[in-house]
Every structure is written in structure tokens, then in C-alpha cells.
Structure 1
Amino acid sequence: MNKAERAAGMPETPQYQYAQRVGNQLFVAGQVPHDSQGQLVGVGNALVQASQCLHNLSLVLSVHGFTMADLRQLVVYVAGEQEQLSAAWNATTEFFAGHVPPATLLGVARLGHAGQLVEIDATVVRA
């Protein structure tokens, strides 16, 4: 599982699949703010974590032959107060140079890893 992602520099994720392609669609699991060694980055910093999630999302898309232009919707999950949501959104708008695909920004109680503030999932369809 995840051999192509591992070869591209993504961390090992036992019992977790990054993405699955079905025709012209890519079903992507929520991307977390881990570096290539599987370490959480940007502890306490939603801007840094969102940037890492988006970097990871871009890498997963490229591994499966898709590009960021194929994104049809983003969901940005953020644990924390309003300033964390704002920071994650700022990272998102910066990453897309102000041209964010349709997106939802959601405040949540907690995410899957200790210290994790941001997770981003996407709907991906090649036209």
C-alpha cells in the first residue's frame, strides 16, 4: 500500500491509503502536516501545518497523474480558535496565489494526531 507515494517522498502510513484513482477521479484521504519522515511539522502553528498539508496534497496528486488544476473542492479542517482558522486560510490562499478552488473552512474539536491543528481533503476530478 502507498508504494508510489513512498517512492515520491511521502511518509510510510501503515493501514492507511493516501488515495485511490477511479476513472477520471481521485479519492484522496485527508492530508496531514507530516514531513517525509512522518514527523508533525509546525506544532502550534496552523499556517505552517496548512502549508505542509497542501504540499502533501500536491505530491499525492502528482503521483497519481493529476494536478492542482484538477481540484474541484477543498475542505480545510482546523482545530483551535479563530486565529488558527485564519492562519490556515491565509496559508491556503497564499498557496493558490489567491485563486482557491471552491473550499470549506471548518473548525473542529480535534484531529487524529497529538498536536495536529490542520487536515485538508479534496475532491479531484479531471475534466
Structure 2
Amino acid sequence: MSSYVSLIRANTLSDTAEYAYASTVDAGARLVFPAGACPLNDDGTTTAIGDYAGQAAKCVENLRVALAEAGARLEDVASTRVLVASSSQADLVTAWEVIRDAFGDHDVPSTLLGVTVLGYDDQLVEIEAVAAVA
């Protein structure tokens, strides 16, 4: 777990949520705001066309790379927003489960949204994140 990010549980709110309800970042931390992590291969093509889970996994992989370039890890993330191009709750849950599992015990506060369209051809998933590091 990050020494700068603390996850907050809210015992009076639903315990069915698979994430912390809030987080705090200690004073003195450097905040990292990576661009939205997209399911793009190194050559710029979209991976796993039509596959919500496959695209979510590639988004996590690309987020890890972007965070590492800034000296951060998934455990340093203070919040996420997951965008899924679908009006089907099942599609959102499919993407979410991959992302949730990637974060493991660091169940960062997250917002999961169904959207109409995302920026790249055949893109179904994108992850926005904010991290805090020394």
C-alpha cells in the first residue's frame, strides 16, 4: 500500500461495494494525473476488439506503464474512473471485474460509467486515475 494514499471505509454505507468509499492523500505527496489508459497496442491499434474483459486488461497494463514512468504503481492510485462504451450493466461489470482484480487489496475508490462512445476506433474501455507518490 502507498505511504501517501489512505483508503477510507464507510461502515454506515452499503458493504456490497467492492471498493473503498474515499481516499486521502498525505501532505507532501506529488500527485500524478495520467491520461486515460486506453486499450491500445504499441502500434496504436485497438486490442481485443469486441471484448470488454480483454480491453480492460490492456487498459490496466497501459496504466501500469504510464504510472511507472511517473514513479508510481497501482498501489499509489487514490481514485479511478472507469468508462465503458455500453448501455449494458453486464458489460460494465465485465470490465470492472478485471480492473478490480488487478488492483487486488488496494480497492481504490472508483466510479464506473457507461458512455456512448470513446475516442479510438473499436474502443470499449478507458481508465482514468489519480496517484500520489513521494
TM-score, L = length of structure 2: 0.73
Q: CA deviation at 1:98?
A: 5.3
| 1:94-109 equivalent positions in 2, closer than 5 A | 94-97=101-104, 99-109=106-116
8 Å Cα contact 1:45-1:84 kept in structure 2: no
Q: Work out whether 1:84 is the aligned partner of 2:125.
A: no
Where in structure 1 are there 5+ consecutive unaligned residues? 1-22
Aligned residue identity for 2:124: L
1 or 2, which has the higher helix percentage?
1
8 Å Cα contact 1:79-1:117 kept in structure 2: yes
Where in structure 2 are there 5+ consecutive unaligned residues? 1-28
Runs of 4+ in 1 over 6 A off after TM superposition: none
Q: Work out whether 1:75 is the aligned partner of 2:81.
A: yes
8 Å Cα contact 1:92-1:100 kept in structure 2: no
| 1:19-98 equivalent positions in 2, closer than 5 A | 24-80=30-86, 81-97=88-104
Aligned residue identity for 1:58: R
Q: Secondary structure at the match of 2:91?
A: helix
State the alpha-carbon separation in 2 of the partners of residues 98 and 40 from structure 1.
29
Q: CA deviation at 1:99?
A: 3.7
State the alpha-carbon separation in 2 of the partners of residues 101 and 36 from structure 1.
27
1:24/1:98 CA distance change after superposition, 3 Å: closer
State the alpha-carbon separation in 2 of the partners of residues 92 and 27 from structure 1.
18
Specify the alignment match of 2:131 in structure 1. 124
Deviations for 1:13-38, whole angstroms, at most 9, x for unmatched residues? xxxxxxxxxx7111111111001221
State the percentage of identical aligned residues: 36
TM-score, L = length of structure 1: 0.77
State the alpha-carbon separation in 2 of the partners of residues 41 and 98 from structure 1.
27
